[in-house]
Chains A and B, each alone.
Chain A
Amino acid sequence: DQQVKQNSPSLSVQEGRISILNCDYTNSMFDYFLWYKKYPAEGPTFLISISSIKDKNEDGRFTVFLNKSAKHLSLHIVPSQPGDSAVYFCAASAMGGNEKLTFGTGTRLTIIP
């Protein structure tokens, strides 16, 4: 039973436009969400996170939106740059659940110059 789902395995976006990556979750105990970026043959790099008490968190070109009622979060990248091409993983944690992360399967983002 996959508790964190990223239904789009891949996404292509023109350079300079907005990239929107989506993530859905099923476990209502999740209260902390993170996005990671991963290049081939490297470990994931932490990008941005959001607590369930917020509905938006912004860091430079990256913004994460959380819709708790829909159990949905999204990562917006504006403007998209060629260096953003990577696999993006959504992850969730339940604070009372030993803070282990549950990951989605990832979305491969390709930025077209």
Chain B
Amino acid sequence: EADIYQTPRYLVIGTGKKITLECSQTMGHDKMYWYQQDPGMELHLIHYSYGVNSTEKGDLSSESTVSRIRTEHFPLTLESARPSHTSQYLCASRKGLGGSYGYTFGSGTRLTVV
């Protein structure tokens, strides 16, 4: 079944560690996105990609980086985790065509930096 997968679901890690949040989709979607959500708050776009080797910063400034070497894979990396990075990170994808297609979201990674 076509879907979008995020791993890990939960991660507790110490300050200063390097982490990579994985996101893969099997739908062949061109466009992929990373959103960050704090409890009770809106989702904020932090990164997006329109295809292989295309990455852009989103509306919310983030110290994380992303890469898009393969269509199906869009990992997010934090070189040195800090408590301020504690949040839920949601990956999404959509078809490259216009407006009538909603995003498909992964289940998210809840990151806690201690």
Q: Which residues of B contact A99 (CB under 8 A)?
A: 31, 94, 98-99
Q: A46-B104, A100-B33 are in contact. List 15 more A-B contacts (CB 8 A).
A: A36-B102, A43-B92, A44-B105, A46-B102, A51-B99, A98-B48, A98-B56, A99-B94, A99-B98, A99-B99, A101-B45, A101-B103, A104-B42, A105-B40, A106-B40
List of B residues within 8 angstroms of A45 by Cβ: 105
Contact in complex: A100, B99 (CB < 8 Å): no
Q: Does B59 contact A (CB under 8 A)?
A: yes
Tell me, yes or no, whether B13 is within 8 Å of chain A by CB.
no
Which 4 pairs across A and B sit closest by C-beta, in order of nearness? A43-B105, A46-B102, A103-B43, A103-B42
Q: Is the CB of A51 within 8 A of B100?
A: yes
Chain B interface: which size bin?
20 to 34
Query: Bound complex: CA of A3 vs CA of B79, how far in Å?
Result: 31
A-B contact count (CB 8 A): 71
Please name all residues of chain A whose beta carbon is closer than 8 Å to the beta carbon of B6 when the two chains form the complex.
43
Q: Would you call B40 and A9 a contact (CB within 8 A)?
A: yes
Within 69-113 of A, Cβ neighbours of B (below 8 Å) are at 89, 91, 93, 95, 98-106
A51–B98 CA distance with the chains assembled, in angstroms: 11
A100 touches B45 (CB 8 A): yes
Chain A, Cβ-Cβ closest to B6:
A43
The chain A residues found within 8 Å of chain B, CB to CB, are 2, 4, 9, 31-32, 34, 36, 41-46, 49, 51, 89, 91, 93, 95, 98-106
B residues within 8 A CB of A93?
A: 99
B66 at interface, CB cutoff 8 A: no
List 23 contacting pairs A-B, 8 Å CB cutoff, sorted by A: A4-B42, A36-B102, A41-B108, A42-B107, A43-B4, A43-B105, A45-B105, A46-B102, A46-B104, A49-B102, A89-B42, A98-B48, A98-B56, A99-B31, A99-B94, A99-B99, A100-B33, A100-B48, A101-B33, A101-B45, A103-B42, A103-B44, A105-B40
